[in-house]
Chains A and B, each alone.
Chain A
Amino acid sequence: MATITEKILAEAGGVKRVSPGDIVNAKIDVALTHDALCGPVANEFRKLGLKEVWDRSKIVVTPDHFIPAKDIEAANLYLEMEKFVREYGIQNYYPIGNHGICHVMLPEEGFARPGIVIVGTDSHTCTHGAVGAFATGIGTTEMAAVFATGKCWFRVPETIKFNITGRLKRHVYAKDVILNIIGRIGVDGALYMAMEFDGDTVKNLSMDERFVLCNMAIEAGAKNGIINPDEKTINYVESRTNTPFKIFKSDENAVYREIIPIEANKIEPTVAEPYLPSNIRSARELNNVEIDQAFIGSCTGGRYSDLKIAARILKNRRVASNVRLIIIPATQKIYLKALENGLIKIFIKAGASVSTPTCGPCIGGHMGVLGKGEVAIASTNRNFKGRMGDATSKVYLASPATVAASAVTGRITDPRDL
């Protein structure tokens, strides 16, 4: 009687079983870093005086934050990353031209597999729990230690299970579901815990949507988000990698800290107001909020299915004259597919600005930074103070559908009201 999180951590720790509170020294299967932090990790790693990393085949480096280099500093960070990759012979490197947002790249390239332990120097690494892996974010120094030893300690978390049942209404998506969950339990409602998403609603979600659910577990303070693998998961992973994997699932009688039922059919298109992802309102309640910018992209809004939904809304419509709509496909593969299927044409005809894969706008990096007092609605995952630019700017979080609808009207808009 154990949860999936407990089973994976027991396996990785080389012990028969674990209970919440136990400390395990887990073997790491995939270690992920990106342009913003690879250089700093390399600096820490070099201090250890080792000639080699623990396993060149298990490290994945995917530049995404400040690419293509937004300024000289970013260009130098990129160089530090490349130097490290070359010097230590890192096998899985996705430089510009073959690039994309790390949390979309990792599953796309077959690195996110059921039953494994994934760490990344990015808090949204919890995304990959959607394939039934244990995945979490760590810092620079800790990653240097992983590069050296291939191990990382974890305190086994208690698990909160979210039993999500029922049909989602039209134009309600995983983003709306997870914003409602965070709104309900608060931004520290799952601090140090695992969030396990279960129920028939989750089973009916596409893998793209499941990644969004797990991605935002960190916004409730969780250690990891996780979904028990099913046939959909196995098909998704097997079509992307030949590497074998082991399936773990929570037992029927596993012990949870709490089981929270979520009625999917009661969820409306949802928006999180500044400055916390838990400040939720329905899109309709915020209909009087005027926006300066709309952004569709990031690790919670730049997948192909997100672009398809946006295209359906933007087809034969125009972005409001006083609004900038920025659309950024999450990876090169997604970008190409969107181009081939005519989505990019729809976006440009609607008056959107479309650009190469990057995390840029979400972190106020580049490609859509907000100025004094500006208001944006974004398909991203954080609306902290100054997140997308000036400290006086404001970010409202929503699904790509709600963002697209809002871009058309110039005000926060429920996509069903268009």
Chain B
Amino acid sequence: MEIKSKVIKYGDHIDTDVIIAGHRLVHGSNISLLAKYAMETVDPDFHKKIAQGARIIVAGRNFGAGSSRQQAPEVLKESGIKLILADSIARIFYRNSINIGLPAIIAEGISSITSEGDILTVNLETGEIKNLSNGKVLNAKPIPGFLMEILKAGGLVNYLKNKLFSERLV
């Protein structure tokens, strides 16, 4: 699986409250409505950037810190984000992201070789990241095998459905 796209760049410690504010969570599972408020407090141009073709988020340390709200990766995915790359990713956000089928790669050093608007190609299986705008390459640890299985199934629900179904056949 290879993803090629323009980059939206953020700094360190982008927390889940700024990805989607706590008071918006009254909308529960209405992700298409919640997505309108994605990044509202820190990046009012977020949706404009996506409309202009940027589908990869590159961030610094500790992306997705804080709350366990799964709506955080969900609103990013719903808004059109295809991949998250960060120097480090908060653990609950990372799990949530994989579980809803949004690839996320912990790629230490990625923020120092990427600028807003750069074009990247990323190989999810090998972890190879090429910055086509400046020629730099970063080899990140690929997504672990069993998480890749979840991603390929389109998320944990589909993965589990397939598993439960095959277990019933046995």
Contact call A123/B42, Cβ cutoff below 8 A: no
**A191 close to chain B: CB less than 8 A:** yes
**Most A Cβ at <10 Å: residue of B27, B40, B41:** B41
**A386 close to chain B: CB less than 8 A:** yes
**B65 close to chain A: CB less than 8 A:** yes
- Bound: A281/B99 CA distance, A: 38
Stretch at the interface among B89-97, B112-120, B124-132, B133-141: B89-97
- A-side residues, CB < 8 A to B, are 23, 36-37, 39-40, 43-44, 47-50, 65-66, 70-71, 73-74, 76-77, 80, 120-123, 125, 137-142, 144-145, 148-149, 187-188, 191-192, 218, 221, 223, 276, 363-365, 369, 382, 384-387, 389, 391
Given A71-B26, A364-B22, A138–B92 Cβ distance below 8 Å?
A: yes
Question: Hey, which chain B residues are within 8 Å of A80, CB to CB?
Answer: 28
Q: Closest approach, in angstroms, between the C-beta of A309 and any C-beta of chain B?
A: 27
Contact call A141/B100, Cβ cutoff below 8 A: yes
Question: Hey, which chain B residues are within 8 Å of A65, CB to CB?
Answer: 25
Contact call A48/B62, Cβ cutoff below 8 A: no
Q: Which of A40, A77, A191, A386 is in CB contact (< 8 Å) with B88?
A: A191
Contact call B23/A142, Cβ cutoff below 8 A: no
- Bound: A39/B161 CA distance, A: 20
Nearest-CB residue, chain B, relative to A39 = B28
Nearest-CB residue, chain A, relative to B44 = A391
Contact call A123/B22, Cβ cutoff below 8 A: no
Question: Hey, which chain A residues are within 8 Å of B4, CB to CB?
Answer: none
Stretch at the interface among B46-54, B76-84, B152-160: B152-160
**B32 close to chain A: CB less than 8 A:** no
Contact call B96/A141, Cβ cutoff below 8 A: yes
Contact call B42/A384, Cβ cutoff below 8 A: no
Contact call A47/B66, Cβ cutoff below 8 A: no
Given A44-B157, A276-B13, A191–B26 Cβ distance below 8 Å?
A: no
Contact call A139/B99, Cβ cutoff below 8 A: yes
Nearest-CB residue, chain A, relative to B17 = A384
Question: Hey, which chain A residues are within 8 Å of B156, CB to CB?
Answer: 141-142, 144-145
- Bound: A2/B88 CA distance, A: 27
Nearest-CB residue, chain B, relative to A50 = B164
Contact call B23/A365, Cβ cutoff below 8 A: yes
A142-B156, A218-B66, A391-B40 given; name 5 further pairs at CB < 8 Å: A36-B69, A66-B26, A120-B68, A188-B13, A369-B23
Contact call B70/A385, Cβ cutoff below 8 A: no
- B-side residues, CB < 8 A to A, are 13, 15, 17-18, 21-23, 25-29, 40-42, 61-62, 65-71, 88, 90-92, 95-96, 99-100, 146, 155-157, 160-161, 164
Given A36-B25, A48-B161, A140–B92 Cβ distance below 8 Å?
A: no
Contact call B157/A48, Cβ cutoff below 8 A: yes
Contact call A188/B62, Cβ cutoff below 8 A: yes
Q: Closest approach, in angstroms, between the C-beta of B42 and any C-beta of chain A?
A: 7
Contact call B26/A385, Cβ cutoff below 8 A: no
Q: What is the total of A-B residue contacts with beta carbons within 8 Å?
A: 131
Interchain residue pairs A-B with the least CB separation, the first 10? A363-B22, A139-B96, A139-B70, A73-B26, A188-B62, A137-B68, A391-B41, A140-B70, A384-B17, A123-B68
Question: Hey, which chain B residues are within 8 Å of A389, CB to CB?
Answer: 23
Q: Closest approach, in angstroms, between the C-beta of A157 and any C-beta of chain B?
A: 9
Nearest-CB residue, chain A, relative to B21 = A386
Given A148-B164, A221-B91, A142–B96 Cβ distance below 8 Å?
A: yes
Contact call A39/B29, Cβ cutoff below 8 A: yes
Q: Which of B41, B66, B90, B161 is in CB contact (< 8 Å) with A49?
A: B161
Nearest-CB residue, chain B, relative to A45 = B157
Given A48-B157, A188-B88, A391-B41, A141–B99 Cβ distance below 8 Å?
A: yes
Contact call A123/B92, Cβ cutoff below 8 A: yes
Question: Hey, which chain A residues are within 8 Å of B41, CB to CB?
Answer: 385-386, 391
Nearest-CB residue, chain A, relative to B40 = A391
Contact call B18/A385, Cβ cutoff below 8 A: yes
13 contacts between A and B (CB under 8 A): A37-B70, A44-B157, A48-B164, A70-B26, A73-B27, A123-B66, A139-B69, A141-B156, A191-B90, A191-B91, A221-B65, A385-B41, A389-B23
Nearest-CB residue, chain B, relative to A381 = B66
Q: Closest approach, in angstroms, between the C-beta of B90 and any C-beta of chain A?
A: 6
Contact call B17/A387, Cβ cutoff below 8 A: yes
Contact call B18/A384, Cβ cutoff below 8 A: yes
Q: Which of A77, A123, A125, A218 is in CB contact (< 8 Å) with B26?
A: A77
**Most A Cβ at <10 Å: residue of B62, B67, B71:** B67
Q: Which of B22, B26, B68 is in CB contact (< 8 Å) with A387?
A: B22
- Bound: A125/B92 CA distance, A: 12
Nearest-CB residue, chain A, relative to B96 = A139
- Bound: A180/B144 CA distance, A: 35
